[in-house]
């Protein structure tokens, strides 16, 4: 059984569905799972057939984080390999031009919570819960803290990391870990509604905007503004910017270059 699957049936809407498909292991992010995820995402990025990727988890759990049995049984080289593969997969999420939306129906813990925080957008069911509980087993969630600490306020991230307590879906929305919370029976449609809205735009525009957005976050205000200015000057001459502006002024729908 494939541990990560890709559903292309919505490519006509420029939306791809990627599913963590190892429910019997609570979609644990093993080396194999992460490598498969990275490969699927890189293929999607290279093909450019979709503008949005919806990331789901099969079964009752979105993802329980790393496979602790793999960590316990591995030596330093194996554990280093696991975290390097994890670094690659999460880096791909941030580098790929497509917007990644986490669709969270159940529990997301440790690196599973990190996956939600790393996604560009996230929609959660009211039943979803989030935690970084490594402190409870003497294995602090240090890598999850990177994306968590950039998604929610510092003291809330610290509380999650130092207590290991669950955060409700409602609090996850309030503190910025997810964008919206809906009843479980509305999760799929709400996620697709958001995906369709984003997917209607130009992939070139989304990709350039996504890359610039994440790059400027590490800069001070003056440097970020100078960088953003140069990006927008360059964007102004690109085909989709010219087409989009013309369509706006002419009161018509734009014909994006990736629809040809």
pLDDT at 259: 82
Pick the closest to residue 67 from 56, 81, 47, 53 (CA basis): 81
Residues pairing with 182 in the sheet: 125
Contact between 38 and 92 under an 8 Å Cβ cutoff? The reply is yes
Task: Report residue 214 as tokens.
Answer: 């994440």
C-alpha to C-alpha distances, 175 to 100, 157, 160, 180, nearest whole angstrom: 19, 9, 12, 11
Burial 150-182 (b: 16+ CB within 10 A, else e): ebbeeebbebbbeebebbebebbbebebbbebb
What is the pLDDT of the chain when averaged over all its residues?
97
What pTM was estimated for this model as a whole?
A: 0.96
N-term to C-term CA, the chain? 36
Contact between 46 and 38 under an 8 Å Cβ cutoff? The reply is no
pLDDT at 260: 61
Q: Where are the domains of the chain?
A: 4-199, 203-259
Q: What percent of the chain has pLDDT over 70?
A: 100
Q: Give the mean pLDDT of 60-79.
A: 95
pLDDT at 103: 98
CATH number of 4-199, picked from 3.90.226.10, 3.40.50.300, 3.30.450.90, 3.40.50.2300: 3.90.226.10
| CATH code that applies to domain 203-259 | 1.10.12.10
pLDDT in tens, 223-258: 999 999 999 999 999 999 999 999 999 999 999 998
């Amino acid at each position: 059984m494939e541990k990560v699957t890709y559903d292309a049936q919505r490519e006509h809407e420029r939306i791809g569905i990627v599913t963590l498909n190892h429910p019997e292991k609570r979609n644990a992010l093993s080396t194999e799972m992460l490598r498969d995820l990275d490969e699927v995402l890189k293929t999607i990025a290279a093909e450019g057939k979709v503008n949005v990727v919806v990331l789901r988890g099969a079964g009752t759990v979105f993802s329980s984080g790393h496979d602790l049995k793999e960590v316990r049984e591995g030596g330093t080289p194996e554990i280093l390999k696991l975290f390097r593969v994890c670094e690659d997969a999460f880096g791909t999420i941030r580098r790929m031009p497509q917007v990644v939306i986490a669709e969270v129906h159940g529990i997301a813990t440790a690196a599973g919570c990190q996956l939600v925080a790393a996604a560009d957008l996230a929609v959660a069911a009211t039943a979803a819960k989030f935690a970084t509980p490594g402190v409870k087993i003497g294995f602090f969630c240090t890598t999850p803290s990177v994306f968590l600490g950039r998604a929610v306020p510092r003291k809330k991230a610290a509380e999650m990391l130092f207590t290991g307590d669950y955060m409700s879906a409602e609090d996850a929305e309030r503190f910025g870990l997810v964008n919206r919370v809906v009843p479980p029976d509305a999760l799929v449609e709400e996620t697709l509604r958001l995906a369709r809205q984003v997917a209607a735009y130009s992939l070139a525009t989304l990709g350039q905007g996504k890359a610039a957005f994440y790059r400027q976050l590490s800069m001070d205000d003056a440097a970020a503004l100078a960088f953003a200015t140069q990006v927008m000057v360059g964007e102004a001459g690109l085909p989709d910017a010219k087409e989009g502006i013309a369509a706006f002024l002419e009161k018509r729908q734009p014909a994006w270059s990736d629809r040809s």
